[in-house]
C-alpha cells in the first residue's frame, strides 16, 4: 500500500512541480515558489519510499534503491542552492540541471514502482 501511495504522490507532485517550474522559468508565479518546494520535497519522500521498497522486496533492484537515495539527496540540494549558483547569464545551466535531476527522480521512481510491482507479483524483473 505504501508503494501505491508513493507512486500516486510521485506522479501528482512531480507533474505539478514541473508545471510550476516552467511557470517560474517564464517569469510567472514567483509567489508559488514555496508550493513548488513543498511539492519537490514530496517527490523526494515518495522516491525514498519507492527506493526502500526496492531494497526490501525480494527481486528488487539495489541499483534503483541506491539511485533513488542519491537523486533524492541531489534534487533538494540543487533546488535550494540554485539561486546562489551561476547568477549571471549562465544561470539557465543550473536550472536545466535541476530540471534534469527532477526528471531523473520521477523516472527512477517510476522504474522502481514498476519493478516493485513485478517483483511482488512474483514475475521475473530482468
Q: pLDDT tens, 54-98? A: 888 888 889 999 999 999 999 999 999 988 887 787 888 988 999
- In this prediction the pTM is 0.86
For residue 36, with 0-12 CB atoms within 10 Å meaning exposed, 13-18 middle and 19 or more buried, which class applies?
Answer: buried
Tell whether the model's pLDDT for residue 49 goes beyond 50.
Answer: yes
Q: What is the mean pLDDT of the chain?
A: 90
Cell 533524492 found at: 72
For the cut 80, the answer to whether the pLDDT of residue 23 exceeds it is yes
Q: What is the pLDDT of residue 125?
A: 47
H/E segment holding residue 91: helix 91-120
The rounded distance, in Å, linking the Cα atoms of 42 and 110 is 15
Measured over all CA atoms, what is the biggest interatomic distance in the chain, rounded to whole angstroms? Answer: 52
Q: What value does the mean pLDDT take over residues 99-120?
A: 91
Amino acid at each position: 500500500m505504501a508503494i501505491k501511495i508513493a507512486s500516486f504522490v510521485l506522479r501528482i507532485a512531480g507533474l505539478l512541480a514541473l508545471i510550476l517550474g516552467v511557470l517560474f522559468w517564464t517569469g510567472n508565479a514567483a509567489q508559488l515558489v514555496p508550493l513548488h518546494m513543498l511539492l519537490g520535497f514530496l517527490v523526494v519522500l515518495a522516491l525514498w519510499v519507492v527506493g526502500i521498497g526496492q531494497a526490501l522486496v525480494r527481486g528488487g533492484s539495489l541499483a534503483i534503491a541506491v539511485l533513488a537515495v542519491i537523486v533524492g539527496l541531489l534534487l533538494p540540494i540543487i533546488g535550494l542552492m540554485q539561486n546562489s549558483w551561476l547568477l549571471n547569464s549562465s544561470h539557465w545551466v543550473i536550472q536545466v540541471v535541476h530540471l534534469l535531476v527532477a526528471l531523473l527522480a520521477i523516472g527512477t521512481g517510476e522504474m522502481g514502482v514498476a519493478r516493485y510491482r513485478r517483483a511482488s507479483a512474483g514475475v521475473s524483473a530482468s
